[in-house]
Amino acid sequence: MTTPEQRRRSITELVTKHGSLSVEELATRLDVSESTIRRDLRDLADRNLVERTHGGVAPMTNVGIERSFNRRLIQHLERKQAIADRAAEEISEGHVVYFDAGTTTMQVAKMVPDDDSTIAVTSSPMLVLELSKSDGTVKMTGGEYRNETKALVGPTTEDYIRNSNFDLAFIGVNGIEPDGMLSAPNESEAKIKQLVVEHSARTVVVTTTEKFDEQSFRRFGSIEDIDLLITDERVPDDYRDLFDDTELVENVFHD
């Protein structure tokens, strides 16, 4: 039997995948009463995770609008955890590792091995809380707090990264375009991602396949700039030619 939170997570994922859905359609898909669905939708709308419509619900997203952090936190959680489990294998003893702000990178932070020789760096106060549970050193970039993504941005953050060298960086994306460009919905955060890629010996993008064929406001790099992409399913066929090196991409739910 599913819990209310599991059911609401399912609603968010269905709406993200299919777009607008009616109360009746959701009740049928989840095998619950329409009154239960209405209560769930009120809760999700109050948290800005979905948008109520006449008789149903719609996703809250477009190129210029960022999905709320809380909404992204519960979406595809099991898949993000599987991605994180594989990503953590990239961390070696003595590494200086940068963790981008984001909900998938948060799951990676939870998987960091207990190694007191590791130095973890992040621009996310929320990730600091997870990283501090391991035995390694944790450093935060400093900067101006951005509530939409719970991240630090701005000149202070940028200067910190410019004066740093990372053995490894885990980066999240909001969009992977057909030409291989990577994008984010905010200029400040796109700049941070760009600088991290430039100052990292090895860059790993961690993302679910829903980000393919998405386009966000600001580009910060391309597939050519990264060393590995870890995702949940097979990369869409239209994108396979972007990955000439078969070692560049891994899916954790194998075909």
**pLDDT digits (tens), the chain, 255 positions:** 678 888 988 888 888 777 778 899 999 999 999 889 988 988 888 777 777 776 788 776 544 444 555 555 556 788 899 999 999 999 999 999 999 999 999 999 999 999 999 999 999 999 999 999 999 999 999 999 998 888 999 999 999 999 999 999 999 999 999 899 999 988 999 999 999 999 999 999 999 988 888 888 899 999 999 999 999 988 888 888 887 665 687 777 654
Q: Dump pLDDT digits (tens) for 105-125.
A: 999 999 999 999 999 999 999
169, 136 contact by CB (below 8 A): no
The pLDDT score that the predictor gives to residue 168 is 98
Q: Is beta strand 119-122 parallel, antiparallel or unpaired with respect to 137-140?
A: parallel
Q: Dump pLDDT digits (tens) for 19-64.
A: 778 899 999 999 999 889 988 988 888 777 777 776 788 776 544 4
From CA 26, how far away is CA 148, in angstroms rounded? 28
The pLDDT score that the predictor gives to residue 251 is 79
> Helix/strand/coil (H, E, C) string of 155-170?
HHHHHHHHCCCECEEE
The pLDDT score that the predictor gives to residue 255 is 46
In this prediction the pTM is: 0.73
> Residue 36 pairs with which residues in a beta bridge?
none
Looking from the CA of 92 toward its CB, the CA atoms found within 13 Å total 4
The pLDDT score that the predictor gives to residue 62 is 45
From CA 152, how far away is CA 141, in angstroms rounded? 8
> Residue 229 pairs with which residues in a beta bridge?
205, 249
The pLDDT score that the predictor gives to residue 64 is 42
DSSP-based three-state secondary structure for 93: coil
